[in-house]
Amino acid sequence: MNIEEVHLTTLSPEETKNLGKKIGAAIESGIVIALIGDLGAGKTLFVQGLASGLDVPSEHYVTSPSYTLINEYPGRLRLFHIDLYRINSENDFEDIGIYEIISGREVAAVEWAERLKESMPAEYLSIYFKIIDDQKRKIRITAYGPNAINLLKKIGLKKA
């Protein structure tokens, strides 16, 4: 399988959000984006930018789906924001319909995606957020498959 990895650092929450917006604007078809990192690392902030890049109307404010598990937003492509923090078993994944979402034509941003490791599609982006301090984040983006790699190239992120 084709895999490419990019490393970067964002210096502020706004830069993390802008990275999401840049990726969202470049997305042309459905993709799964696995978001991995500690609480407060910037995953939801990134998804807010992603939604903006996907032209989600501003009246649809993007919030963490910690308690609802899945939030859905209309846009140029439909965006599903999924939080697996409270999900513990394979049966729970099936109950919330995650398999249908990640195999569809929509954009699925999945927080705590490491819990789905064995069920990820062949093509996806994995984004790992590491907290450096209150403002800075080290970010590692791994593209799995040719479409995800092309997305990285389209937004000008080059292989590490």
CA separation for the pair 102, 79 (Å, rounded):
11
pLDDT at residue 130 greater than cutoff 70: yes
pLDDT of 158 reads 63
Q: For residue 18, is it left (φ>0), alpha (ψ between -120 and 50) or beta?
A: alpha
- 1-54 pLDDT, tens digit per residue, is 689 999 999 999 999 999 999 999 999 999 999 999 998 899 999 999 999 999
- 60-108 pLDDT, tens digit per residue, is 988 887 777 899 999 999 999 998 887 776 677 777 778 888 887 889 9
Reported as a pLDDT band with limits 50, 70 and 90, residue 127 is very high
Reported as a pLDDT band with limits 50, 70 and 90, residue 132 is very high
Q: In the predicted model, what is the mean pLDDT of residues 115-142? A: 91
pLDDT of 48 reads 96
pLDDT of 157 reads 72
Within 13 Å and on the Cβ side, how many CA atoms surround 86?
10
pLDDT of 99 reads 81
Q: In the predicted model, what is the mean pLDDT of residues 110-131? A: 88
Domains with residue ranges and CATH for the chain: 3-154 (3.40.50.300)
- Which residue in this structure is represented by tokens 């697996």? 84
- Predicted structure pTM score: 0.92
Q: In what order do the strands lie in the sheet with 124-131?
A: 3-10, 137-144, 124-131, 31-37, 107-111, 79-83, 70-73
- Which residue in this structure is represented by tokens 């403002």? 135
The residue type found at 35 is L
